Copies of this chain bind each other. A is one copy, B any other.
Amino acid sequence: MKSIIIASTSTIHGSGYLEYLLDELENHFKSVNEILFIPYARPGGISHDAYTEIASKAFKRIEKTVKGIHEFDNAENAIKNAEGIFVGGGNTFVLVSQLYKNKALAPIKTAVTNGIPYLGTSAGSNICGLTMNTTNDMPIMYPPSFKTLGLVPFNINPHYLDPIVESKHMGETRETRIKEFHAFNNQPVIGLREGSWIAVENDLLTLKGTLEARIFECGKTPYEIETNSDLAFLK
């Protein structure tokens, strides 16, 4: 029993925080009054309090209260007692370091497997994959491992970006980076464009939003899949 939203981004261009997802979240968290927010990814290095305030304001619009995990004495107990969980974006290395430090990964996996609704955006989506090896973030902190929740049997690349036509920059495109990943790793990767998300309901995995997603399987040419595609084939 699982109910998960794995979103490419919290915010799409020209729209407020979580705004494009609010209808979906109203349904996703319909049985939930208070959401446990995990602000560990600290975008731009902001404080846990400041970040929780941002999440709180967005969820107020659908009449949910939000409490930051840092407000509890014990992170494991906070997760065990949560009605719903939201892990926000920021830096995946900072997020994963803090999750390991507070022994939070196993309790989150248990809670989500037991049916507690989960929302991840960006870094919070990355950790739903098998590993964080396909994050776009700068490695500003050294986590004890790159292994993550494995709530889906593949890796996530959020904020997926198509090559910029006529760019003169010689840095690798996102596609080149994921191809390099597959020189050393086997699991599939889904490149989720901003505005896309994966909805997991029990064993049903579906691509949502208006856009296509790009699929990278080891040894195959990358290809596009339509929105509303069933992602069960991806493992």
Contact = CB atoms under 8 A, between A and B. Distances in A.
Q: Is the interface of A mostly helix, strand, loop or mixed?
A: loop
A67 interface: no
A170 B91 contact: no
Nearest to A46: B183
Nearest to A14: B168
Contacts of A43: 172, 180
A185 B138 contact: no
A133 to B, nearest CB: 5
Interface string A191-215: 0001000000000000000000000
Contacts of A93: 139
Q: Which 9 A-B pairs have the closest CB atoms?
A: A45-B183, A13-B168, A159-B171, A138-B177, A140-B181, A142-B146, A9-B170, A133-B140, A45-B180
Given A42-B180, A140-B185, A161-B171, 8 more contacts: A9-B170, A45-B179, A45-B184, A137-B177, A138-B172, A138-B181, A139-B146, A169-B194
